[in-house]
Amino acid sequence: MRLAWLTDIHLNFVPFDERQRLYSSIAADGVLISGDIAEAPGVGEMLLEMKRMLDVPIYFVLGNHDFYRSSFADVHARMRALTANLTNLIWLTDSAPQLLSDNTAAIGEDGWADGRLGDYANSRVMLNDYFLITDFIGLSPSARLTLMNRLADEAAAKVSKKLREACSLRRRVILVTHVPPFRESCWYEGKPSNDEWLPHFASKAMGDAIVDVMDGHPANELLVLCGHTHGAGIVQIRPNLMVKTGGAVYRRPEIQEVFDLD
């Protein structure tokens, strides 16, 4: 089985002919997408278009941009409705481990930055998230951090459960998420992000949960695929734990990598 990995493709900025070019370049048996597909009003439409054009299983999670101009509850409800009866469109956040081969399973979680890495208190970074996602609009810095903590902790708890289950089913696991789970994997221009950007671009809660599970499963291997920073990099966190962060350029969506399973 060959899997093509995409991330931060932002198809709402891409004309149809360029989207067709991307679809035509995918020669694989399945697709993994680690978030930022479009913006909330168009995510479903873009996923359905991709499904029609590719006719292979599409395993995806959502990124922060996928909630722009809407709320978490609304987008979650629409994704559940969209994928409920479509066997080839799998929202990994809302799914059990997917058995891809005799040796490999895939799990996923949208994830969220939790402000626990870097220096949130002194950061001057203001992402569009805080103005374009209903749940964040008008929050004070402390209230914003509380929401970030809650979202990240909920995601980390779900990943911990799914990862333990996946490790019991297959030796190798691929975890698809949007937000880098470690300081070292929060790549930008060839190096990890600084303390001003890290609070908004990494999830310590997710990283801690992943390490806890993998330290307890030394015979298993985990590959984490993430995006969000638009900076590419690879880091080996543990002997059995590698994280690949995808690079991206607006209006130029590309395949990050193609994986051959077994």
What whole-number distance in Å separates Cα of residue 260 and Cα of residue 254? 18
pLDDT tens-place string over residues 99-130: 999 999 999 999 999 999 999 999 999 999 99
What whole-number distance in Å separates Cα of residue 3 and Cα of residue 31? 5
Q: Supply the pLDDT for residue 63.
A: 98
pLDDT tens-place string over residues 145-180: 999 999 999 999 999 999 999 999 999 999 999 999
Asked if 204 contacts 116 with a C-beta cutoff of 8 angstroms, the reply is yes
- Beta-bridged to residue 235, according to DSSP, are 243
| Domain encompassing residue 9 | 2-260
- Beta-bridged to residue 60, according to DSSP, are 33, 91
What whole-number distance in Å separates Cα of residue 225 and Cα of residue 248? 13
With a cut of 90, say whether residue 68 has pLDDT above it. Answer: yes
**Percent of the chain at pLDDT exceeding 90:** 98
**Mean model confidence pLDDT for the chain:** 97
Q: Quick one: angle between helices 72-83 and 43-54, nearest 10?
A: 30
Total number of domains constituting the chain: 1
Supply the CATH number for residue 17's domain. 3.60.21
With a cut of 90, say whether residue 6 has pLDDT above it. Answer: yes
Q: Which residues contact 166 (CB under 8 A, 6 or more apart)?
A: 97, 105, 106, 107, 173
b/e sequence 66-75, b meaning 16+ C-beta within 10 Å: bbbebebeeb
- Terminal C-alpha separation, the chain: 7
With a cut of 80, say whether residue 262 has pLDDT above it. Answer: no
